[in-house]
Structure 1
Amino acid sequence: MSETEATPSDILRSTPDNPVPPNHFAGFFTGHRGARLRYAVFRCEMSPARGTIVLLHGRSESIEKYYETIRDFNAMGLWVATYDLRGQGGSDRLLKKPKKGHLRRFSDYERDLDLFLEQIVLPDTRLPFFLVAHSTGALIALSAAPRLANRIERMALAAPFVGLTGQALSQGMIRFIAGALTVIGLGQISAGSDQNGRAFAGNPLTSDPKRFARNGAIGTSNPDLMIGPPTMRWLKETLAAARRVASQAHLTAITIPTLVLAPMRDGIVPYASQEELARNFRAGQLVNIIGGRHELFSEADVYRVQALAAIEAFIPGNEASSPVAGDAAA
């Protein structure tokens, strides 16, 4: 296990309508350049397990937001291993002002994933390994995928961050401004206003008022887990990565069978960009979620159930005994 581990109740947070799933362990592992990153592993009751899902979050999210989805994956007979991305949730912040959503290099995200697989997933969870990711997490998965073929069996990517919509400026203009400000040393400037506490009406994330309120309560009860708008450098790095992973050369290098879950009413990532990604993705298969908004795992049941059913059908179980990964490697 990680070199830094404490009582899980000291690490994971709970609210009345969002209790911590049972049968888990949690701690901190050392990411790239010494970043202290919070993680948790949730075991299922099925024995042997069908495998382990490595769950990657979107920007500004935390482990707490995925408790319901973790329970769903556990009910499928799968363990879940997840961690807070650097700069958010319970992981180390990157600037003196902790509410700023910052990033130094996009490759830092990828190196953190590599270290999580090496330090936590491989020695402490169950084979085979699958990757499920949302938004920015899906962008990280796409970027790292050419190097993951010998470790990850299949990937399911929900609303992958391969474009940006719903902004006052065009994506091209945002990319130009973010790049220019970063070059002249102003990459730590925040882009936009803080959207925490926004009203449910007109939100681009989910059509489910209960899950929207639940997610808001996580932040109200645990303000230290929250971050504000991204910095210009974060935008520069992620938009450059989004352009790169959508290129034909990069997509051709990915051999892991991949499911692209595309909500057709996504107000953050253009549906057309997700559709274009899947069209050029030889190992990818597109599943349209008609009417769904950006956060499929927090959406109304009519959309959320479609996404979960597609993942369950796509991720095969391991019919043979599932040994501890470290034992198998040995």
Structure 2
Amino acid sequence: MTELSPAPFFADVAGGPAGGAAHWITTADNTRIRVGHWRADNETNGTVMMFPGRTEYIEKYGGTATEFVDRGFAFLAVDWRGQGLADRPLPDPRVGHVEKFTDYQQDVLATLDLAKKLDLPKPWYVVGHSMGGAIGLRAVLEGDSFAACAFTGPMWGIFFTPIMKPLSRLTAYWGPRIGLGQKTPPTTTMESYVVSQPFEGNILTRDPAMYQMMKDQLAAHPELSLAAPSTIWLREALDECAWLMAQTAPTTPGLTFLGSHEQIVDRKAIRARMENWPNGTLVEIPDGEHEVLMEPPDVRGPVFDQMAAHFMATQSGAKSATTLSS
């Protein structure tokens, strides 16, 4: 069983509700990860578990914690293996790496065990962003811990330009065979995206304040930053996306948000998955980028409202809203 062990938590940059805390937990395969949580004064609506994307970390979701805590949910977020303050397996900690994509499910199981130890209120819900959307969908498909699920820009496919697609697949599948599995793909950079990319022209968010928040967090705590993935990670991610798309949709109620300007994950894959999810709803955000939860307030506020309604509908039997106000 997971033992409670306090971990560093950077409240100076996280924001979020008062009382945020983090814990170290060790997975069944002996990997140390970090889990953070915030409690609500009136936790009548259960717990939202945030499954972040690649390169992300607990503190990035302090604002998201505020949104859900204000709506009566406890909130939890994870540093997946290989990122944030969790164990990083390679000599160069800037490289995002995992040996098998299903290893992330070890992190999920350890996180659920911690949630039990913390007595986080049920029902439990999951929000999966980007890579966390792939991890979250498998967790929903293979388990019954979550009463409902929501996703933002989920990685059920990776977007490549027509020119880059064959090169990326060649790198992913031949790189590891010739001893380059722990190296990064040739067109990638060894700096975190938000560190190297100015706000103008970025493909994450249209909100300059949110983008600056991400920059400030990594400037204050560079140990949280992560750069390009390894070619093994890329191979494993492509295989995981193919597996997810081949599965029958879960019966769990699902709500997915997709920005119309999405340029990181595959929009076609998301639409195809949701078209075949009988208990699922897809909401497309006009002009939205990848980070739907970090878009301007007039966009992200209604998204949080709709997620909360979607989750609470599992308790009341009411039908969740399907229209996002502009």
State TM-score, norm by structure 1: 0.88
Tell me if the contact between 1:266 and 1:292 (Cα under 8 Å) persists in the aligned partners.
yes
Give runs of aligned pairs for residues 289-308 of structure 1, distance below 5 A.
289-308=285-304
Q: Give the Cα separation in 1 of the matches to 2:291 and 2:154.
A: 11
Deviation readout 1:232-277 (Å, 9 max, x if unpaired): 1111101111111112xx133x221111111111121132221122
Q: For residue 60 of structure 1, give the secondary structure of its aligned residue in structure 2.
A: coil
Report what 2:321 is aligned to.
Answer: none
Deviation readout 1:140-164 (Å, 9 max, x if unpaired): 1112222222x21000011101222
Residue of structure 2 aligned with 1:158, choices 152, 159, 163: 152
Report what 1:286 is aligned to.
Answer: 282
Q: Which runs of 4+ in 1 moved over 6 A?
A: 317-320
Q: Is 1:99 the equivalent of 2:98? A: no
Q: Give the Cα separation in 2 of the matches to 1:109 and 1:305.
A: 30
Q: Is 1:57 the equivalent of 2:56? A: no
Cα-Cα RMSD: 2.0
Report what 1:213 is aligned to.
Answer: 212
Tell me if the contact between 2:172 and 2:235 (Cα under 8 Å) persists in the aligned partners.
yes
State TM-score, norm by structure 2: 0.89
Q: Give the Cα separation in 2 of the matches to 1:168 and 1:227.
A: 26
Aligned-partner residue type, residue 209 of structure 2: K
**With CA pairs under 8 Å and 6+ residues apart, which has the higher RCO, 1 or 2?**
1
Q: Is 1:273 the equivalent of 2:269? A: yes
Q: Aligned in 2, Cα 1:169/1:59: closer, same or farther, shift over 3 Å?
A: farther
Q: Give the Cα separation in 1 of the matches to 2:157 and 2:166.
A: 10
Once the two structures are TM-superposed, the CA of residue 4 in structure 1 deviates from its matched residue by 4.6
Q: Is 1:89 the equivalent of 2:89? A: no
Using the aligned pairs only, state the percent identity.
27
Q: Which runs of 5+ in 2 are unaligned?
A: 317-326
**Range that drifts further, 48-57 or 160-169:** 160-169
Give runs of aligned pairs for residues 200-279 of structure 1, distance below 5 A.
200-247=199-246, 250-252=247-249, 254-279=250-275
Give runs of aligned pairs for residues 82-231 of structure 1, distance below 5 A.
82-117=77-112, 119-124=113-118, 125-149=120-144, 151-165=145-159, 169-191=163-185, 192-193=188-189, 194=191, 195-197=193-195, 198-231=197-230
Tell me if the contact between 1:50 and 1:317 (Cα under 8 Å) persists in the aligned partners.
no
Q: Aligned in 2, Cα 1:173/1:142: closer, same or farther, shift over 3 Å?
A: farther
Q: Which runs of 5+ in 1 are unaligned?
A: 321-330
Once the two structures are TM-superposed, the CA of residue 70 in structure 1 deviates from its matched residue by 0.4
Report what 2:70 is aligned to.
Answer: 75
Tell me if the contact between 1:13 and 1:20 (Cα under 8 Å) persists in the aligned partners.
no
Q: How many residues align?
A: 310
